[in-house]
Structure 1
Amino acid sequence: MRIDYFSHIPGLISRLRQITLEQKQFTLDQKLRVLIEARVSQLNSCVYCLHLHFREALRRGELQLRLDSLTVWHESPFFDTREKAALAWAEALTLLHDTRAGDSVFSALRIHFSDIEIVELSLAISLANFWNRMASGFRREPEFETASKGQGHP
């Protein structure tokens, strides 16, 4: 790792971790949240976070087949229209410079999700992007023995 950012600002990183953990209280389906976080991590090429989210998804009962086809979710028959709307929103917010979070993507999202779910989904996407940038930028690598114990974000 380039710099152990936790050792430099442990209080702030701990508070951000706590905010991330509070997502478990969301009304949004937790299995979907983790799937979205995994897709965001794929888009950002964050090996640490992708490993973390895939392991959590499997613990939550996600199928390996769906995780394997997550990169091609647009064409995959393994995701329903609700999940595809959420995945499209995750891509729209993650690739904001290119997508501008267009109205068509948002309109499709509103068909399947309540306002609170959209806010929670957007927060989950934003937090995943934050952690991806920290872990990737500082070249954090998966620690298989600690990741398997469910340690969470750095």
Structure 2
Amino acid sequence: MKARIDFRNAAPDVFKAMRDLEAGVRRSALEHSLLELVKVRVSQINGCGYCLDMHIKEALAAGETGQRLYLLSAWREAPFYSPRERAALSWAEAVTLVSTNELPDELYAEVREQFDEKATMELTLAIIAINGWNRLVKACRTEVGSYVPAAVA
């Protein structure tokens, strides 16, 4: 597919705001591995090839196993995810699909068992950020496949 628009140059101030949100997520106390799992799962739901390519490469470069990434779309059936990761993935799915699903109190309670108030907000903002990136790069048809992780570059 041909790219539609280069959002970095077309709206640099707005792009900077997105980058600032992402920088805040990276500065959070949440584990890098957890953030990458959440970003991959949300990108799977949204069908975002660019973000899948990016975050799978980032996760692998940071030491994530292929097995956990291959099975991420079926994480409820796989024994490879911790209770903390499971709570984050459940929350990520619910927040991503908020237009068609509720955010039940039981799920929030499950999240709060694993994350304090600050971490819950950081996780929620990380989910909001990757949903925004997914929508931005899909709308602009950003080229898929060329991303090189910083650890490799």
Same fold (TM over 0.5): yes
Equivalent pairs: percent with the same residue? 37
TM-score using structure 1 length: 0.91
Any conservation in 1 of the 2:40–2:52 contact (CA below 8 Å)?
yes
What SS does the corresponding residue of 1:99 show, helix, strand or coil?
coil
Hey, what does 2:61 align to over in structure 1?
59
Q: 2:125 aligns with which of 123, 126, 134?
A: 123
Hey, what does 1:103 align to over in structure 2?
105
- Between the aligned partners of 1:102 and 1:52, the Cα distance in structure 2 is 31
Spell out structure 1 runs of 4+ moving beyond 4 A: none
Q: Work out whether 1:148 is the aligned partner of 2:148.
A: yes
Q: Deviations over 1:85-118 (max 9, x none)?
A: 1100000000002222111211111111111110
**Correspondence 1:34-53 to 2 at 5 A:** 34-53=36-55
- Superposed CA RMSD in Å reads 1.5
Hey, what does 2:26 align to over in structure 1?
24
- Between the aligned partners of 1:136 and 1:72, the Cα distance in structure 2 is 24
Any conservation in 1 of the 2:96–2:127 contact (CA below 8 Å)?
yes
The CA deviation at 1:27 is 0.9
Hey, what does 1:139 align to over in structure 2?
141
TM-score using structure 2 length: 0.91
The CA deviation at 1:39 is 0.5
Larger deviation, residues 5-14 vs 56-65: 5-14
Hey, what does 2:96 align to over in structure 1?
94
- Between the aligned partners of 2:91 and 2:63, the Cα distance in structure 1 is 23
- Between the aligned partners of 2:150 and 2:19, the Cα distance in structure 1 is 13
Letter in 2 for 1:95: L
What SS does the corresponding residue of 1:96 show, helix, strand or coil?
coil
Letter in 2 for 1:148: V
- Between the aligned partners of 1:49 and 1:7, the Cα distance in structure 2 is 19
What SS does the corresponding residue of 2:100 show, helix, strand or coil?
helix
Q: Deviations over 1:35-79 (max 9, x none)?
A: 101100000000000111111111211111000000000111111
Hey, what does 2:9 align to over in structure 1?
7
Unaligned runs of 5+ in 2: none
